[in-house]
A and B are shown apart, each in its own frame.
Chain A
Amino acid sequence: MSVSAVIGGVGSGGEISGATGVVRGRRTTPALVIPALLLVALFMLAPLALIVRYSFDLYDPVKLMLGVFSIDNYARAFADPFYQKVLGVTARIAGLSTVIVLLLAFPAAYCISRTRSEKRRSWLIILTVLPLLLGNAVRSAAWMVVMGTKGVANTVLIALGLTAQPIAILYTPTAVVIALVSVLLPFAIITMQSVLDAIPTNIEEAAMSLGQSPLRAVLSVVLPLSMPGLIAAAAICFALAMNAYATPVLIGGPSIQMMGPVVYEQIAKVQNWPFGSTLACMLMLTTVLLTIVSTRFLSRKYF
Chain B
Amino acid sequence: MKRFSIGRFSYLAFVTLIFAFVIAPLLVIVWASFFSDRILTFPPSGYTLSWFVRAWDLQDFASGFATSLQVGACATLGSLLLGVPAALAIERFAFPGRETVRQLLLSPMYVPAIVAGAAVYIYFIQIEMMAGVQFAATFHGLVIAHTLVALPWTMRLVCASLVTANAASEEAARSLGANALQTFFLVTLPTIRPGMIAAAMFAFIASFSDLEKSLFLVGPGQTTLPISILNYLEWNLDSTIAAVATVQIAVIGAALLISDRFVNLGKAF
Which residues in A have some Cβ–Cβ distance to B below 8 Å? 1, 3, 6-7, 10-11, 13-14, 16-19, 21-26, 28-29, 31-33, 35-37, 39-40, 43-44, 46-48, 50-51, 54, 104, 107-108, 111, 118, 121-122, 124-131, 133-146, 148, 150-152, 155, 182, 185-186, 189-190, 193-194, 213-215, 239-240, 242-243, 245-246, 249-250, 260, 263-264, 267-268, 273, 276-277, 280-281, 283-284, 287-288, 291
Residues of B within 8 A of A21 (CB): 174, 180
Query: Are B82 and A39 touching (Cβ within 8 A)?
Result: yes
B60 at the interface (CB under 8 A from A): no
Question: Which residues of B207-226 are within 8 A (CB) of A?
Answer: 208-212, 215-216, 226
The reply to whether the CB of B104 lies closer than 8 angstroms to some CB of chain A is yes
Lowest 10 CB-CB distances: which A-B pairs, in order?
A135-B209, A142-B25, A47-B123, A243-B112, A47-B119, A32-B89, A17-B181, A155-B42, A36-B86, A121-B266
Tell me the bound Cα distance from A21 to B137 in angstroms.
45
14 contacts between A and B (CB under 8 A): A13-B85, A17-B180, A29-B95, A32-B93, A43-B144, A50-B119, A51-B122, A135-B211, A136-B211, A138-B226, A141-B237, A151-B40, A264-B215, A267-B118
Given A29-B93, A214-B8, A141 contacting B245 (CB threshold 8 A) = yes
What chain A residues lie within 8 Å of B56 (beta carbons)?
Answer: none
Tell whether B162 is near chain A: CB-to-CB under 8 Å.
no
Given A32-B88, A133-B209, A267-B122: A104 and B245 interface contact (C-beta under 8 Å): no
Q: Identify which of A47, A126, A242 contacts B116 (C-beta below 8 A).
A: A47
- B4 at interface, CB cutoff 8 A: no
Report if B59 contacts A (CB, 8 A). no
Q: How far is the CB of B137 from chain A (nearest CB, A)?
A: 12
Does the CB pair B148–A39 fall under 8 Å? yes
Query: Which of B28, B234, B248, B266 is in CB contact (< 8 Å) with A152?
Result: B28
User: Is B265 a contact partner of A129 (Cβ separation < 8 A)?
Assistant: yes
CB of A230 to closest CB in B, whole Å = 16
Kindly list chain A residues whose C-beta atoms are within 8 Å of the C-beta of B111.
44, 48, 284, 287
Contact of B226 with A135 in the complex, beta carbons under 8 Å: yes
Could you say which of A39, A139, A144 contacts B151, with CB atoms under 8 Å apart? A39
B110 / chain A contacts, CB cutoff of 8 Å: 239, 287-288, 291
- Complex contact B114–A108 (CB within 8 A): no
The answer on a CB contact under 8 Å between A277 and B122 is yes
CB of B30 to closest CB in A, whole Å: 9
**In the bound complex, do residue A243 and residue B114 qualify as a contact, i.e. CB atoms below 8 Å apart?**
yes
Interface string of B87-110 (1 = CB under 8 A from A): 011101111000001001101101
Whether A152 and B184, one on each chain, are in contact in the complex, defined by CB atoms closer than 8 angstroms, is no
Q: How far is the CB of B132 from chain A (nearest CB, A)?
A: 12
CA distance A46 to B85 in the complex (A): 23
B126 within 8 A of A: yes
Residue in contact with A245 in the complex, picked from B126, B155, B212, B260, CB distance below 8 Å: B212
With the chains together, A281 CA to B122 CA distance in Å? Answer: 13
Given contacts A28-B89, A131-B25, 20 further A-B contacts (CB under 8 A): A22-B180, A31-B85, A33-B86, A35-B81, A35-B86, A36-B105, A40-B107, A43-B120, A51-B118, A126-B257, A127-B22, A128-B19, A131-B23, A134-B252, A145-B32, A155-B43, A214-B7, A215-B7, A215-B11, A273-B122
Docked Cα-Cα span, A122 to B215, in Å, equals 34
Specify which of B90, B113, B170, B215 is in contact with A33 (CB 8 Å cutoff). B90
Interface size on B, residues (CB 8 A): 101
Q: Are B108 and A142 in contact (CB under 8 A)?
A: no
A256 CB to closest chain B CB, in angstroms?
Answer: 15
Please report the C-alpha to C-alpha distance between residue A144 and residue B232 in the assembled complex, in whole angstroms: 13
Residue contact B148 to A40, C-beta cutoff 8 Å: yes
Contact of A250 among B81, B82, B234 (CB under 8 A): B234
Q: How far is the CA of A7 from the CA of B81 in the complex (A)?
A: 6
- Nearest to B82 among chain A residues (CB) is A36
The distance in angstroms between the C-alpha atoms of A104 and B92, with both chains bound, is 38
Q: Are A135 and B148 in contact (CB under 8 A)?
A: no
CB of B66 closer than 8 Å to a CB of A:
no
Chain B residues whose CB sits within 8 angstroms of the CB of A146 once the complex forms: 24-25, 28
CB-based contact B252/A133 at 8 Å: yes
- Chain B's closest residue to A126 (CB) is B256
Give the distance to chain A from B7, nearest Cβ to Cβ, in Å.
6
A182 and B22 within 8 A (CB): yes
CB of B257 within 8 A of CB of A107, answer no
Nearest chain A CB to B235 CB, angstrom units: 11
CB distance from B257 to the nearest CB of A (A): 7
Asked if B83 is an interface residue, CB under 8 A from chain A, the answer is yes
Distance between A138 CB and nearest chain B CB, rounded to angstroms: 5
Q: How far is the CA of A215 from the CA of B10 in the complex (A)?
A: 11
Q: How far is the CB of A107 from chain B (nearest CB, A)?
A: 5
